[in-house]
Structure 1
């Protein structure tokens, strides 16, 4: 089926505009014949599809009403209304248009579609082929004679339709037709009235065991899906809780490690301070001996003879010279050793004092979240050269990670 939509009809009628006009807002279904152009109003097409869908187990009949015009050898058929025909047989084997049916049709036309002429009929049946049978041909010749009457066939299941036009004694299928859109108050009012007269179907009363079992199975499957969904959500919650616990444990371990390192650094600083104080106490000036202590009172010597005295004097002179030389050398060595000891002690005391004084002027800093050695060096000293000195003071390496809460000493 070919469908083409036109927003505006390019060709307009000439010479007899006072009798009919060509719709401008149209939709093309299939190909259009040059000899006959068929226009079906949208309300009519919708109504026919609706009654066909209602008759999926039986046939449906309707009368097509509208207008027929000619222009320059071309016939124009306008299907503006459709009247449903009920209370009659409608099967592929028999279609009953009795006198009673026609009488009722005329009455309803006078009520709903006064002034409209009959231009054809509509027939739908489940599984009907889109071709003309002998029954359809006979019904059309007996009740819808004339070269401009049409038959609209529709199959409700496949929603297939076709329009046939009677010409040269036979119903010929048309290659296509138009659906046009215009105000159609007659058909609109008829459809509203038909919808009011449609009886409401009673509510379905399900008492069959098989249906109840099916519904029970569906309910069980639904409950099973809900249980699986709840189980999956609980597993996700458990996993999330475990991840949070692991993260908290990791943070706690890191905090403990940082605290231990902080205590170690504090202990080292305290030990250095204590050692500095001890060195200061040890390095004190030694007491000097008084002249009285250096020259004790001499003891009296026994008297000796002159010869012995001379020999003794000579020996004493010699011994005194040696002794004096020895004492002088020993005194010089002792003084040098004492000077060296005092110098070393003073140097050690000076170094310890410098270390103690340097340790006392160093600033303690608590590591904050996001801190790095590079960041501290740049913020405090505006240079990355201070990183090395910070590492030396805190016994750290440049690659070592620092943690929030850790205390370090800054130069």
Structure 2
């Protein structure tokens, strides 16, 4: 099976197992959780490998019914498994059991000891998982189990595809949607009659459209010609304005460069090239002749000198900033004070059946925060806060 392209990562991914959940499966579990306070189901999909690493692709889920609960443990009866197999064969193809899911707010049902017992009795494959929603913590978790105990996955993937099989199963769980789809075949005769009437109306409109197509073509051509004429007129107007403005600019430049009191020293020429000496700026040929006047005007040199002065000022600013940085004293990071750790007193507690580390903290401290759980795990040398066993002696720090 190929890795889906459209995926979203939830948390970190473990190297031991990569879990891919289809979006419709996650939506279905969320919907069942909101509708029912407690629900149990079976996850369906395929097991494969990606670069010698096991992968689970879950693209289906079926609710389990007729299961039994005793002292917080879930027992899958033969009738419950038969219903699961029948629904899986009816709605899904080419799938196998990849694990199960549980949504519950009962602390005994979400106890890891009971969950491991239920998992080991019903799911023997090494890579089958449990998707758990703990109503007390309002938290979603994924576990895999082996001989050493329960291992919580750090994260998983959600991928998106046209999962028609899961969609059909979700519709079958909603009676109102089923009735809506069942009424549709009975109205096919009426739909066909309406379709025929619709086609006849469309044919009449097409005939009328052909008659008026000639008139529409002529009107479109007239609109196009008028728009083109307006654009051409606007273009000629803009060109004339630019030419007038440009000639006026030339006059102003000539007067500035050659005149003493703002008067232009311009000589008109006739067709033979002789100057007429008139006060106008243009002769009969329409060309302006500028009299050369000696002067010390160097626009390019002035810009270069100004640029060089700006560059020298920037260099002075940069050098002064560098000297300030070099003169600033270096500050050393404050060192942590070394002292003897304060002595902490502990009290011992023996784990009983039905206990979790969260309920123990709630009973002794009135809170089950993550910081407190991690502190107790560190004191007792535990790697997993969710796995404790009956008879285990825990050290609990005494509060002041």
TM-score (norm 1): 0.41
Q: Which structure has the bigger radius of gyration?
A: 1
More helix by share: 1
TM-score (norm 2): 0.42
